[in-house]
Amino acid sequence: MRRFILFSALLSAGVITLALLNPSTTQAVREHGPEAVRSIVRVANQPRLTPSEEIDCTLCPDRIASCASELDNFVYYDAAYVNIDFPMGDVSETTGVCTDVVIRALRCCGLDLQQEVYQHRKRTNKPTDTNIDHRRVPNIGAYLADHPDWQVIPADEPVQAGDIVWWKVGRKRSNHVGVAVTDRRIMHNIGHGVWADATPGSFPLHRIYRLR
């Protein structure tokens, strides 16, 4: 075990060193300092999954996890209300919040949460706004909980790749959501980009949603 940990550390250090030798990376470090170094470390530590196009299913846990792992990392956190197209609308690819990680991962699998959440809210006589409803964690949770293809897993159960994980964060118990790319690594955006740098226990778990 110690040898494996040492090997992983040396591998990460090697990747970071190679990245720092890249002139553009060196320039980024000079311009942005410690945050650029942190980003290099995050890139080196991202899980490597089978590419989504090589997975022989359209919507399945492995593809959800793979699609999440392929999302752009460098996304500016912006929770502003934006008018977007419907269906299949999206905010700028360079911006997003935690819910956009889930939306984009599932859209890669052919599931448009914008349309699905809209239809779910309409069926349950809730007010609808196609610009923002699907970008709210409770609305995604309500849709997944009611859909026969998904099941709610108790928060004390182990997380599996492809799960949608809903946390409660901070003293205000704010909503936060991500996509499990492995049983221990969750892709999310809490303000510093889209990274698989969270674990199930990083924040208090509220709900786990799993494709049946």
Query: Do 85 and 179 fall into the same domain?
Result: yes
Query: Do 163 and 197 fall into the same domain?
Result: yes
Could you tell me the residue range of the domain that residue 60 belongs to?
51-211
Query: Do 72 and 105 fall into the same domain?
Result: yes
Q: What is the DSSP pairing of strand 164-169 with strand 174-180? A: antiparallel
Helices 23-32 and 34-44 cross at an angle (nearest 10°) of 130
Query: Do 175 and 136 fall into the same domain?
Result: yes
Query: Do 7 and 67 fall into the same domain?
Result: no
pLDDT of residue 144: 98
Query: Do 69 and 104 fall into the same domain?
Result: yes
Query: Do 98 and 17 fall into the same domain?
Result: no
Query: Do 105 and 152 fall into the same domain?
Result: yes
List the one residue out of 211, 181, 212 whose CA is nearest residue 198.
181
Query: Do 11 and 79 fall into the same domain?
Result: no
Check which CATH number belongs to the domain holding 142 and give it: 3.90.1720.10
Q: pTM for the full model?
A: 0.84
Query: Do 34 and 57 fall into the same domain?
Result: no
Query: What's the domain count of the chain?
Result: 2
3-state SS string for 99-152: HHHHHHHHHHCCCCHHHHHHHHHHHCCCCCCCCCHHHCHHHHHHHHHHCCCEEE
Handedness of CA 193, 199, 200, 203 (dihedral sign): negative
Query: Do 40 and 55 fall into the same domain?
Result: no
Query: Do 20 and 67 fall into the same domain?
Result: no
pLDDT tens digits, the chain, 212 residues: what are they? 444 344 444 444 444 444 444 454 455 456 556 676 787 888 889 999 999 999 999 999 999 999 999 999 999 999 999 999 999 999 999 999 999 999 999 999 999 999 999 999 999 999 999 999 999 999 999 999 999 999 999 999 999 999 999 999 999 999 999 999 999 999 999 999 999 999 999 999 999 999 99
